[in-house]
Structure formats: C-alpha cells, structure tokens
Amino acid sequence: MASKVLSPFVYWAQSNADLTLRVDLKDVKDPDVAIEEDEIEFSCVGVGSQGRQKYEFLLEFYLPVDKDSAMCTVYDREILIKIKKKDEDWWPRLLYEHKKLPWLKIDFDRIKNESESEEEKEKPADFSYEELLKNKYPDAYEQLQREELGFISTNYKSLYLFCYNLFMFCGFLYAFVLMSKKYFQEEEEFLPKAYATVGDIYKFLHLLMFLEVLHPMFGYTKGSIFEAAIQVTGRNIWILALIGGEERMQSKPVVFYLFMTYAVIELVRYPYYMLRVYDMDIGLITWLRYTLWVPLYPLGFICEGVIALRDIPYFEETEKFSISLPNEWNFAFYFPNVIRFYLLFGFFPMLYTQMWHMYNLRCKKLGIKKHKSNKKKED
C-alpha cells in the first residue's frame, strides 16, 4: 500500500542570485535537509496544517544551484533555507517541471530584484506568478511562453504519462503471457516460433518507445535525452534490423530468451513509472526496479551479442543494409563491419556504462544516506 506523504506549506522567493524557501512549520528540531545541485529533499517532525506530524517534500529545481552555499536556519515558527544559484539569472519558475503543487506558494514579500522598489513588492493575494513575470520581467515571461509551446496542462500531462506507461505495461504483459503459455504448451518446439508469435508486438512497442525520447525533450519527464535516444535506438536496431532484417535469425532460440528478458525488465519498469507520475511509491516495486537489472542486463547484453555475432555471415551473404561502390554518392557502407566494430570496441564499454549507471541509481534509491551539513540525497 502506498504511504501517504504530508507536505508542509513552502513559500519561495528569488533574486537574480539567490533562492529562499520558507517552510511553515513550528517547534521543529534538527530538520533532515538534503540539497543537491538539481533538487532539495526535506523531512522533519513539526507542527503544521495537519498538527504534529512528519512532513516532507522533494523539489527539483528549474536550474542548478550551488549546494555548498546552502544555509538552513530553524526558527520557532518556520525554517528558512537560502541557496545561491549557480548562474545569476531570473527563473521563470522554481520547479523543473511545469506543475502546480497546492502546498508550494510564492512568497511575494521576499521577491526582489535590483530594480524593484519597496512599493512594487506588495502584491494582492490573487496575483499570479505569470502576471508578475509578464509585467515586471518580460524576458522571463517570454522564456516561459516558449517553453510552454507544445506543452499540455499538468493534469493532462500526468494522465497522458500514466496512460502511456499503462499501455506499454499491458503490451509487454500480453507478450510475456503469450510466450509463457506457448512455451509451457510446446516446450522446446516453441523457441523457433517466438519471433513469429510476438515479433510484430515487439516492433510496435519499441517504435512507440521513441516517445520516451520526446518526453524529456518537452519537459514531461526529467532525464537525459541523449541516454534515452541511445537506449531506444539500440533496442530498435536489434528488433528491426538484426532480427527483423534477417529471416534466418528469427528462428533462433536466442531470440526467445532476448524477448523474455526485455519483457521482464519492462514489466517492472513501467509500473514503477506509473506510480511515480503521481508521486506514489510501493517498496517492492521500487526494490524490483532497482534490483532485477543485476541479472537481467548482462543476460540481455549476452543475447544481443550472440545475435550480432551470428548475423555477421548472414549479412555478408545478403549484403543487406550495405552500400557498395560504385554509386552516384561515391559512398560505401558495409554493415557486417559495423557489427564487428561494435562487438570488438563497443560491447563491453556499453555493458559497463549501463551497469555502472544502474548501480549508481540503485545506491541512491536503496542505499543509506550519508549525514552531512548538506546531506547527499537519494533519488
């Protein structure tokens, strides 16, 4: 069952150089504050809107901050956190994602700019932040408008992400159940039929994965566009080219094992993302998300390597995806050599990079926090 998280009222303000967060809690001692360049995590026991409870929040900053400059001061009726921005510039909003949190509010009394007078600080209660940007900081307002071009509202965006992850989960679940059923019915005889059974499903699902490259590009999710593009493109090269492009490879048992590995990975990944859309966390799913990769990623890489190695003589024979001279472009491309280059120079570095990346994520999510003046936070 997902645990309910109580968040305190947080009032934020900025200048060109600093951020100020005012946490509206009373009788707080030793708040647990972890600040990184891109986010802040806060947790403590105090008296807030729900009485004496444990309150916590996580905020991902619009741009990086100087975490070493952070100062946290505890008063009787509030906690004041001041952080310097890495680049002195006015932010169009506090959060990386364009969303409204009911407990996060603008602290107009503290908003200041070098050109702002005392009279301009006073704003009516219903004054919107977009209005403030438009009237006083037109450049920041134009930047916000450019970012919102092509964006959908926060509620619709969350609904879209939830439905996308649900659809992908159902697709991989269907493929996994279908392959499992066929395998238990036919046993070893089914292995050469795996691609014929679910090949089209895997093609469609993996082409749909290119949306995961667009999600961080448009700000729907936080992550590296480059990493998403590499992962999705790599998967599609194996599904569409190395397997789909060579009929003799489609009947190899290794295709079944690769498909099953992909399915198990995604049957955990997509439910985890579905929950994260609404900031929910189920311990078992989180643990599986950051643990199952330990055996599955090497297994998947081995299957991909076997497929690439066995494809070399096939593509040498057919010259598919290769371009020979002479031609009107005066350009040559030999696909088997690209496969050889990957196996010799790219296979182990890619495996190491992916495993190291997942290991770091696992340490952040499941590891023990280190208590410092500005603690390192787990993602």
Domain boundary among 83, 115, 148: 148
Q: What is the CATH number of the domain that holds 27?
A: 2.60.40.790
Reduced DSSP (H G I as helix, E B as strand, rest coil) percent helix, strand, coil of the chain, to 5: 50, 15, 30
Percent of the chain at pLDDT > 70 equals 83
Q: How far apart are CA 156 and CA 220, in angstroms?
A: 11
357 and 224 within one domain: yes
319 and 224 within one domain: yes
91 and 28 within one domain: yes
Q: pLDDT tens-digit profile of 155-171?
A: 678 889 999 999 999 99
**Which range is least confidently modeled, 50-59, 120-129, 165-174, 238-247?**
120-129
Domain boundary among 125, 148, 171: 148
142 and 120 within one domain: yes
76 and 112 within one domain: yes
165 and 142 within one domain: no
159 and 186 within one domain: yes
Q: Total structural domains in the chain?
A: 2
> In this structure, is residue 251 part of a structural domain?
yes
179 and 129 within one domain: no
Structural domain boundaries, residue 134: 10-148
297 and 159 within one domain: yes
210 and 228 within one domain: yes
134 and 23 within one domain: yes
Q: How far apart are CA 309 and CA 322, in angstroms?
A: 17
pTM of this structure:
0.62
Which letter does DSSP use for residue 120 in this model?
G
3 state DSSP class of 19: strand
Which residue in 222, 12, 217 sits closest to 108, CA to CA? 12
Radius of gyration (C-alpha) of the chain in whole angstroms: 26
pLDDT band at 224 (very low <50, low <70, confident <90, very high): confident
Q: Is 35 exposed, middle or buried (0-12, 13-18, 19+ CB in 10 A)?
A: buried
Residue 240, C-beta contacts closer than 8 angstroms, at least 6 positions apart = 203, 206
> In this structure, is residue 280 part of a structural domain?
yes
Domain boundary among 98, 132, 148: 148
Which pLDDT value is given to residue 111? Answer: 59
Q: Is the pLDDT of residue 24 over 50?
A: yes
> In this structure, is residue 256 part of a structural domain?
yes
> In this structure, is residue 377 part of a structural domain?
no
Residue 337, C-beta contacts closer than 8 angstroms, at least 6 positions apart = none
> In this structure, is residue 218 part of a structural domain?
yes
> In this structure, is residue 96 part of a structural domain?
yes
> In this structure, is residue 60 part of a structural domain?
yes
Q: How far apart are CA 221 and CA 216, in angstroms?
A: 5
Read off the tokens for 70.
């952070």
Q: pLDDT tens-digit profile of 313-351?
A: 999 999 999 998 888 888 889 999 999 999 999 999 999
122 and 97 within one domain: yes
Top-ranked range on mean pLDDT: pick from 80-84, 134-138, 307-311, 368-372: 307-311
Q: Cβ distance 220 to 148 under 8 Å?
A: no
Q: Cβ distance 67 to 372 under 8 Å?
A: no
The catalytic site residues sit at 297, 304
Which pLDDT value is given to residue 129? Answer: 53
> In this structure, is residue 83 part of a structural domain?
yes
